[in-house]
Structure 1
Amino acid sequence: MRKLSIILIGCGFTFFSWNLYSYLVGYTATTTIEDSQVTRQAKMLTKAQYPKNDVELYEDIPSIGESIGDLTIPKLKRTFPIIQGTSKSVLKKGVGHYTKSALPGENNNSVLSGHRDTVFRGLKDIKVHDKLFVSTVAGEFEYVVKKIRIVDAKDKTSLMPRPRGTLTLTTCYPFNYIGRAPERFVVVAELTSQNTRNGHSKKFITRP
């Protein structure tokens, strides 16, 4: 009986330590929003493989592991670094950009992924009509959440191209699931306004 108690205590301590570690990794990958927030400078990016926009936004495509910019979610009062790629090493640093999707601000679907127990832990609190902001070398982009979906892990529709500027956030689901989660939590937001580095400002008419 004593041995069983020791084993149970050991398992509990291991589980607690892992969750604490995951939380600390995610928290340190974020920064609290401040009134005088300074946008992190990213390297020049390109979009040669992406559909053309009215105004060319990027000059270079970022390499895997490079910083693209920042994702700010006012609802969570957090700013997350966006890194090119979705490998394990990249997702330890912040939010990963799916390389086959468009870059933020472009007239297509830009897909960002993050771990449910670190950077995207708070996505469960996001609601339709909440705002998302992305800052990159190309400019500042505002998105409004239009849809929240829960899909099977094998469902790839969230990666599909879109006819207009879209930001898609994905993470594993359920949020409190232990092990490989069977589903994905998907937040779909539409581009509502932009202020590009070359001085072009524009507001978009969004669907209700």
Structure 2
Amino acid sequence: MKKTGVVLIITGIIMVGWFGWQYWSGMQSVERIDDNVVKASENEDHKETLSVGTEPDNIERTGNSGELVNTDYDDGKDIAKLIIPEIDLAFDVFWGTGDEALAKGVGMYDSKWTAPPDQGRHTVLSGHRDSVFRPVGDLEDGDALYVNYNGVDYEYQINKTWITDANDRSVIVGKDEPTLTLSTCYPFHFVGSAPDRYIVEAELVKKGDLLNLD
């Protein structure tokens, strides 16, 4: 009995240490942002821009015949930044959604259905629910999301949030319109392997020099 108790204690310490390290590692890529991260001119005309239900005139697609352009990044490479003014946070975004990328923070899906923002298709970002993406549950329809990629700022407006099964294959799919999707495990406080996914979907409304970034 004593040996069993010791084993359980050691196992508990190892698990706490592992999750603690995972949380610390992921949060190194998250930073607080100031209220002025969005340029003043963008704040002033934000509502007017979002009221237009058509694709912005300055959105250009790349690739021939609607085909996605191959993107050659090493897994885990820091390639972009996600900025969410509503929760005052900015996240470094890493290429891929394997263990290496997600251990660092937010990962950008690399698949035949998804692409970076400059290709005007479906960009999907994923992060752990118990670290970087826990605040995602506080977002609401109409909130703004920004992605800075290759020196260009992309502004999206959230139009839908929902919970789905972890095996749902209808989330990471090809889209003809520029779309940003955030995905994380759910419930947020679930112990163990969470059975569901929390999804945030947003439409692109503007791109350009929109943010005050260092």
Q: TM-score, normalised by structure 1?
A: 0.75
**How many aligned positions are there?**
184
Q: Give distance in 2, aligned partners of 1:48 and 1:82.
A: 23
Instruction: Report if the CA contact (8 A) 1:25-1:92 is conserved.
Output: yes
Which piece of structure 1 moves more, 136-145 or 14-23? 14-23
Aligned position for 1:157: 170
Structure with the greater relative contact order (CA < 8 A, sep ≥ 6): 1 or 2? 2
Q: TM-score, normalised by structure 2?
A: 0.73
Q: Do residues 97 (structure 1) and 108 (structure 2) align?
A: yes
Q: Normalized per residue, which structure has more helix?
A: 2
Aligned position for 2:55: none
Q: Give distance in 1, aligned partners of 2:64 and 2:21.
A: 38
Instruction: Report if the CA contact (8 A) 2:83-2:147 is conserved.
Output: yes
RMSD: 3.0
Q: Give distance in 2, aligned partners of 1:139 and 1:92.
A: 26
Instruction: Report if the CA contact (8 A) 2:124-2:172 is conserved.
Output: yes
Q: Which amino acid aligns with 2:98?
A: S
Instruction: Report if the CA contact (8 A) 1:74-1:131 is conserved.
Output: yes
Q: Could you give the per-residue CA deviations for residues 72-115 of structure 1, whole angstroms, max 9, x where no partner exists?
A: 11122111111111110111112111111121243211111111
Q: Do residues 33 (structure 1) and 33 (structure 2) align?
A: yes
Q: Do residues 106 (structure 1) and 119 (structure 2) align?
A: yes
Shift of 1:51: 2.9
Q: Give distance in 2, aligned partners of 1:171 and 1:182.
A: 11
Q: Which amino acid aligns with 2:203?
A: E
Question: Which runs of 5 or more residues in structure 2 are unaligned?
Answer: 38-61, 210-214
Residues 9 and 144 of structure 1: is their aligned pair in 2 closer, same or farther, counting only changes over 3 Å?
Answer: same
Question: Which runs of 5 or more residues in structure 1 are unaligned?
Answer: 38-46, 197-208
Instruction: Report if the CA contact (8 A) 1:51-1:107 is conserved.
Output: no
